[in-house]
Amino acid sequence: MNTQGNGANGNGHKIVETAVSAESEGGASLFNVAPPPGELTKKDFVSNQEVRWCPGCGDYAILNNVQKVMPELGISREKVVFVSGIGCSSRFPYYMNTYGFHSIHGRAPAIATGIKAANPDLSVWVITGDGDALSIGGNHFVHVLRRNLDINYILFNNRIYGLTKGQYSPTSVFGQRTKSTPMGVIDYPLNPLSLAIASEATFVARSIDIDVKHLGVMVEAAAKHKGVSFLEVYQNCNIFNDGAFDYFAERSVRSDKVLYLEHGKPMIFGKDRNKGIRMNGALPEVVTIGENGVTEADILVHDINLEDPSVAFMLARMEQPAFPQPVGIFRSINRPSYDQLLVDQIDGAIAKSGPGSLDKLINTGDMWTVE
């Protein structure tokens, strides 16, 4: 009996006793109908399954945040579907008390495409990792973004393969020694945001697992975007790549090394809020306000709604140590979504030719009558 899982489920729902082994994850919710969307709380989105990530894993913070944001979206629980591929992060759907599909390696965006295209009424979430999304599933990553399917896509980037125990991933840093690269990684890492922007994603954002407040805001913004929303979360794997992001994300250095992008605001960062990004010709540079005649008016103002992706791309390329590591919303533009356009085409076809008639369907083409 999975007592821990049951204990996690409050809210007065009756629990059906079953011979579920302690090994269990997934399966039925075993609970009755949830209250209407307005009255849902975080607990309604917590499944009865024991969360089985390593203690201290960054995944917990992300799960916690998503569960917290869900009730605020005003969506009935039964209309939510979490889809994942393979990897540590892909266990995520089992822990959400919603519909869930833990699929195969790299293919979550494709499964999600079928779900959302078939039923646009559903709120569909893809949970993936750097290996799942960018290596084996790289093709689907590109195409689900360009398709602008109205889904929320969260990439847990820990720069390592965790579930297979420590091989390098497409985002591992050059030279990194891992189990499969004892002499160091000799291929160059991929920047997920660069690729997302190049893939025509209409919403692109980044956050950090340990910056809980910012993460919550980003999850909510992603959920509210109409069209595909891509959120990269820097997530610490405390077993195989511990501290991979400490050089900028650690609390004591964060304010100096992270740039929090905010729409309509100048790109200012630093403990003393005196550093900023200024354009120098075609390239960005870090400047200090008050030095060499630099004033706040010189600092680039962030605009997430630019149709042209150039500035978003430029920001995505900025990284430590030359630049602060930017987090926040890089880009958010409006474009009709694939699922909506598909419905429009069907409505258009019905308006033009009338609803399909089986009789007409089979009685067309090269026909003749034998008397």
Partner 1 sequence: MSAVLEPPVETIDKHLEELDTVTIRFAGDSGDGMQLTGTQFTNTSAIMGNDISTLPDFPAEIRAPAGSLPGVSGFQLNFSSHDIRTPGDQPNVLVAMNPAALKVNLPDLEEDGTLIINSDEFTKENLEHAAYKSNPIEDGSLNGYRVHTLPISTLNMNALKGTVELSRKEIARCKNFFALGVLYWLYDRPLDPTLNWINSKFRKNPELAKANEVALKTGYNFAETTEVFTTHYTVKKAVIAPGRYRKITGNEATAIGFVAAAELAGRPLFYGSYPITPASDILHELARHKNFGVKTFQAEDEIAAVCAAIGASFTGHVGLTGTSGPGVALKQEAIGLAVMTELPLVIINVQRGGPSTGLPTKTEQADLFQAVWGRNGECPAIVIAPATPSDCFDMAIEAVRLAFKYMIPVFYLSDGYLANGAEPWAVPAIEKLPRIEVKFATDPTNFMPYSRDEATLARPWALPGTPGLEHRIGGIEKQNITGNVNYDPENHHLMVKLRQEKVDRAVADIPPVEVFGDPTGKVLVLGWGSTYGSITSAVERLRQEGKSVSSAHLRHLNPFPGNLGEVLASFETVIVPEMNLGQLCTMIRAKYLVDAVAFSKVKGRPFQIREIVQKVEEYL
Name the residue nearer to partner 1 (CB basis): 32 or 292: 32
* Residue 249 near residue 256, CB atoms below 8 Å: no
Report the alpha-carbon distance of residue 321 to residue 121 in Å, rounded: 44
Name the residue nearer to partner 1 (CB basis): 78 or 256: 78
| Closest of 262, 260, 261, 256 to residue 274, by C-alpha | 256
Residue 62 CB, nearest approach to partner 1 (Å): 18
What is the number of alpha carbons within 13 Å of residue 236 lying toward its C-beta? Answer: 21
Residue 196 CB, nearest approach to partner 1 (Å): 16
Name the residue nearer to partner 1 (CB basis): 20 or 210: 20
Report which secondary-structure segment, H or E, holds 212: helix 212-224
Name the residue nearer to partner 1 (CB basis): 142 or 244: 142
The amino acid at 25: E
Residue 21 CB, nearest approach to partner 1 (Å): 6
CB atoms within 10 A of CB 290: 11
The amino acid at 252: S
Residue 58 CB, nearest approach to partner 1 (Å): 22
Residue 128 CB, nearest approach to partner 1 (Å): 14
Name the residue nearer to partner 1 (CB basis): 144 or 268: 144
CB atoms within 10 A of CB 204: 30
* Residue 156 near residue 133, CB atoms below 8 Å: no
